[in-house]
Structures are given as structure tokens and as C-alpha cells.
Amino acid sequence: MRYLPHTSEDIASMLQKVGVDTIDALFSNIPDDCRRKDDLNLPEPLSEWELNDYMNTLAGAMAVSPEYKVFLGAGSYDHYIPEAIKHLLLRSEVYTAYTPYQPEISQGTLQTIFEYQTLITRLLGMEVANASMYDGASGLAEALLMAIRITRRKKVAVSKAIHPLYRRVVETYLAPTGYEIVEIPYLSNGRTDISALDNLEELAAVAVQSPNFFGCIEDLKNIGEKVHTGKKTLFVTCFSEPLAYGILKNPGSLGADIVCGEGQSLGVPRSFGGPGLGIFASLNKYVRKMPGRLIGQTVDKDGKRGFVLTLATREQHIRREKATSNICSNQGLCATAAAMYMASLGGSGFRELAGINRDKTEYLKGELRKAGFTIPFDSPTFNEFVVKLTPGFETAYKELVKKKIVAGLPLATYYPELDDHYLFCVTETSSKDDMDVLVKEVLS
């Protein structure tokens, strides 16, 4: 994209058009005490060559795989991406991040998103999926707002074992609305304490993550049954690692009404935290309360198969009072990558890969336990687990980073009661040698 600065004549013409003489006059309605008086503290400009060198220097300071051994997940996971996906994504039929505004001439994009929706419903055991949300966090917030619309209640219960950043986004979404968020504590085994629901009434929804932030697998069947004893209350489940459903029963078979989460693991690079892929699915009876867009299949006047933008619930497309969300686009390219990833692996490949992740996680967990460290939560886990390390491990943690090892995520920032507890993550990209070196270094 070329940068075309305005000439002084351009600026004068535009100012005349809006009826002012100077740039300062254009901003005269901004109070003087709200204006910056000094210049911005910006560095001197660089040439293209100098800028490239500078960016390479910054990149070299990042602790990333494969040079670093990173045992860090917490919502973003390192998985191998088949080379075929990287190639296919560049095809012109699908190379866009948007749901089409002119669906009739965008059949390639529409078909890939339709296939994505189909694969997601199969993975999660749900009846309908949308064309994706921004990320797992926005997906959870939208799911709770959807439950509020359906039940017309103003209170939701959210497990404390849900990813803390997801919960923060939920709080941001709901803060201006007056809706109430009730936090459900977690038990000593790392799972959600569903007994806390006994004294809660008139809930729009109960939200639980599985595997949860600690990597623990929740008893969704039992939770769902308890949630549904409350009349009209909806059961919302979320996730940050969809690969788990290669070996776990899917949420739909365990009673979930709405399922949402992060799809980054499905063929999307970590890219220092973004972009993500907000997966969103529900029962079909709630489809008109669902946020986002849905792609449908139909036939044209000649009887040929075609794809259409079936439902679009943003105010841009329908009357404002009927809109369910103001999310203005889906993560189309990431959703396409996820569809390609799931289709490439197939059902058996997906199960096998999930099994490899589970087995490698159990190996590291066992080795750390044999080394004398405490695994505080005894619930089954997937990909991630919590370890209690020696007091004052912060210093050793920094030294390990210098040795190009990132030894998990310190949990005290998000859970002050879990001081000296670290969340470790293992995927198929972690070798046995890497894990053995980690255990040795943590011990030293």
C-alpha cells in the first residue's frame, strides 16, 4: 500500500469544506487540558535497511521454539502444522480473512467455511456452528450474552478454573450491562466445585472449561446434569485446547447447550499470541440467538449446489434491535486453516495425535513427581498440569530462560493462593530428551 501524504493545498481544501481555517480550529472542541503539550518521544527515522536490522535484533531477543525449549501453553499451543495447509491457504479461492460481502461470487470461501462448520459440529458433538468468532475469550463472553438473551435472566456463574484472561474479557463485556457474574471456586483436585451451585438461583448460564486452565478434565456430564436441574439454565462449556476432544467425549454428548473456545491449535501458528480462532457452536433451537454468521448450502435455479450466507446477526445486516453481536467479521482465514487441518488429520489421525500429547504430558508429569516435586491436583489432565516447585524458584526460572528453557507459567499472578506453582505444557513438539533436560535443570 502506498503512502500518499496530503499536500498543503489538499489540507486547505478540506478545512474549507468543513468550515474552519486551521488544523487547531478543527480540534477546538477538545478541552485544552486534554491536549498533549509536548512532542511525542519517538526515535529518529530509520532507513529500510536499518529498520530490518532493528527488527531482526528484536526477533533475536524472543524466547521461541525451536531454539528455546518452551514448556508453556496456557491457551496458546505449539503444534506441527502440515506443509500442505501452508500451501493451500495461499490459493486465491480462500485467501481472505473475511466472510464475503458478495456471497454469490465467493463460492470458494463459502464452501471452506461451510466445511469448517461441519467439522466443528462433529468435533464438539453440537448441532450448529457459526463461521467463527475473534478468539476463545470473545467466544465465551458472547456465549454468556447469548444465554442471557435466551433465558432473559441477568446472572451467570463462571468457574474460577476457566482461563483468567477469558474471565477478564467476560467481565469487560458484562460490566456496562448490569448483568451479574458469580464466581464458582475450584476444589483441591483442580476441578470446579459444583456444590457452589446449590445456593444459586435464576441463573442464565453456568460456564465451565474442560480441560480447564490447570489442564484438569472436568466431569462435564455430572456438571451438566446439575445445571439442568435449574429450570431454563443453560450449560456453557469452553476450551482452549480442542485437540483434547480427539480422545475425550465431546461436550455435546455430555449435555452442553453452547460450546465455545480457542481453535489456534488447529493449524494456526502461535504468532506471539495472535490471531486466534473463536470456535462457537450450539443446539439448533438457539441458532437465531447465536452471534456471528452462518454459511448454508443450497441449490441454484439450475439445481447446482451452491453456498450462501444464511444468517448474519450483526446490525450491519439487520435491524439494530434484532442484532445479537457487534463482532464485525469472523476469523475466516484461520477457520479455513482449521478446516484443512482437521480434514488432513481425519478422525483416526486426530485421535492418534491427541494420544501422543496425552502420553508425553504424562511422561513429564511422572518424571517431575519421581524427582520429588508435588503435583497438587490429582485429576486427569490433558497437555497441561500444575507443579509445585521449591520456594523462590523465580530466580532459577530466570536462569533457565538464559539456558533457553522456559519452565512453564508462574500461576501466582493469576491465582495468588498458588504461589510457587507453575503450569507446564507438553505437546507432540516436545521430545523426550527435551523433557529429561528440563527435569535435570529444574532439580539443579
Q: Which amino acid is at 318?
A: I
Cell numbers found for residue 189: 483436585
Using alpha carbons, select from 383, 374, 419 the residue that is nearest to residue 73: 383
The pLDDT tens digits of the residues spanning 360-376 come to 999 999 999 999 999 99
Dihedral (CA of 204, 206, 207, 213) sign? positive
Q: What phi and psi, each to the nearest 5 degrees, are found at residue 27?
A: -105, 20
Q: What string of DSSP letters covers 25-39?
A: HHTTTS-GGGS--SP
Q: Any idea what the Cα angle at residue 196 is, between residues 190 and 201, rounded to 5°?
A: 145
Would the pTM of this model clear 0.85, i.e. be above it?
yes
Report how far residue 258's alpha carbon sits from residue 143's, in angstroms, rounded to the nearest whole number: 7
Report how far residue 19's alpha carbon sits from residue 26's, in angstroms, rounded to the nearest whole number: 9
Question: Where on the phi/psi map is residue 372: left (φ > 0), alpha (ψ -120 to 50), or beta?
Answer: left
Residues 8-14 have a mean pLDDT of 92
Cell numbers found for residue 119: 467439522
Instruction: Find the length of the chain.
Output: 444
Q: For 90-99, 105-114, 197-206, which range has the lowest pLDDT when averaged over its residues?
A: 90-99
Check whether 104 has a pLDDT greater than 70.
no
The pLDDT tens digits of the residues spanning 135-164 come to 999 999 999 999 999 999 999 999 999 999
List beta partners, residue 422.
Answer: 387, 410
Give the torsion through C-alpha atoms of 24, 25, 29, 32, to 10 deg. Answer: 40
Q: What is the DSSP letter of 138?
A: H
Per-residue pLDDT band for 1 (boundaries 50, 70, 90) equals very low
CB atoms within 10 A of CB 217: 17
Higher local confidence (pLDDT), 224 or 91:
224
Quickly tell me which residue has 518452551 as its cell.
Answer: 70
For the chain, the farthest-separated pair of C-alpha atoms sits apart, in whole angstroms, at 77
Domains of the chain: 69-81+347-443 (3.90.1150.10), 96-342 (3.40.640.10)
Q: What phi and psi, each to the nearest 5 degrees, are found at residue 305?
A: -65, 140
Do residues 251 and 149 lie in contact, with contact meaning Cβ atoms separated by under 8 Å?
A: no
Question: Where on the phi/psi map is residue 105: left (φ > 0), alpha (ψ -120 to 50), or beta?
Answer: alpha
Do residues 212 and 159 lie in contact, with contact meaning Cβ atoms separated by under 8 Å?
A: yes
Q: How far is CA 186 from the centre of its chain?
A: 22
List beta partners, residue 239.
Answer: 261
Do residues 392 and 382 lie in contact, with contact meaning Cβ atoms separated by under 8 Å?
A: no
The pLDDT tens digits of the residues spanning 242-282 come to 999 999 999 999 999 999 999 999 999 998 888 899 999 99
Q: What phi and psi, each to the nearest 5 degrees, are found at residue 129?
A: -130, 150
List beta partners, residue 295.
Answer: 309
Check whether 95 has a pLDDT greater than 90.
no
Do residues 419 and 412 lie in contact, with contact meaning Cβ atoms separated by under 8 Å?
A: yes
The pLDDT tens digits of the residues spanning 18-52 come to 999 998 899 889 998 898 888 899 989 999 999 99
Check whether 323 has a pLDDT greater than 90.
no
List beta partners, residue 259.
Answer: 237, 281
Indicate the pairing of strand 234-239 with strand 258-262: parallel
